Amino acid sequence: MEKYKKYYDLIKAQSHIFDKTQNCKIGQTWEYHLCPVIRNAIMLAIDYGANKDVVEVAAIFHDYADLIDMNNRNEHHILGANLAREILIKDGFDKDFIDKVCLCIKNHRASVQLEKNSIEEICVADADALSHLDNVVELICWRAYLGEDIKTANQFVKNKIIKSYNKMSKLSQNKFADKYNAILKVLY
């Protein structure tokens, strides 16, 4: 974390601003989505032999455009890659590193099926999906906060978990199959 503290601080601060705009408890997005994505991405990078620095920086910035403005949601993967590119260029990173980080950000989304051509891209996308498996309770609470009834909230979360798991690489699906199956047993 110390190596990229500047980026952690930037994204954490922006996530707190985002939470205020969403009328959420401050720290919710940081604690229940961004930190798990970063932590899982680093873990997967180590387990899968990926470039840990590329994966960590991409995971830090993966939802940056979304945090700036929810209207970016549909294109946040593209806009976020562009924003990260600008920051990394300004900070003197080499083109190859920046290109790899930006591809990871661009290809992390579940709802946009883009081919992942590197283990680093797989690590970031799988970590994003895994964060939903890690935070089922938070997803349920979020849907309740939005005013959904239990049946509707349950169905949303179940669909989110299934979509997230199906987004993962076969390698990660095998690694986290027990967690996935346990969650589906709880959701009806």
Find out whether 120 and 50 touch, Cβ atoms under 8 Å.
yes
Over residues 130-166, the pLDDT tens digits come to 999 999 988 888 888 888 999 999 999 999 999 999 9
* Distance separating alpha carbons of residues 70 and 114, to the nearest angstrom: 21
CATH number at residue 25: 1.10.3210.10
- Structure confidence at residue 114 (pLDDT): 60
Nearest CA among 73, 88, 80 for reference residue 7: 88
- Name the domain count of the chain: 1
* Distance separating alpha carbons of residues 56 and 163, to the nearest angstrom: 23
End-to-end CA distance of the chain: 38
The helix (H) or strand (E) run that includes residue 52 is helix 52-61
- Structure confidence at residue 110 (pLDDT): 58
Residue 73 sits in which domain range? 2-186
Q: How many CB atoms lie within 10 A of CB 12?
A: 17
* pTM for this predicted structure: 0.91
Over residues 167-176, the pLDDT tens digits come to 899 999 999 9
- Structure confidence at residue 166 (pLDDT): 93
Over residues 18-60, the pLDDT tens digits come to 888 876 766 688 888 999 999 999 999 999 999 999 999 999 9
Long-range contacts of 140-144 (CB under 8 A, 24+ apart): none
Q: At residue 80, what are phi and psi to the nearest 5 degrees? A: -65, -40
* Distance separating alpha carbons of residues 27 and 96, to the nearest angstrom: 33
Judged by phi (left if over 0) then psi (alpha if -120 to 50, else beta), residue 147 lies in left
Which residues 6+ apart lie within 8 Å of 156 measured at CB? 139, 143, 148
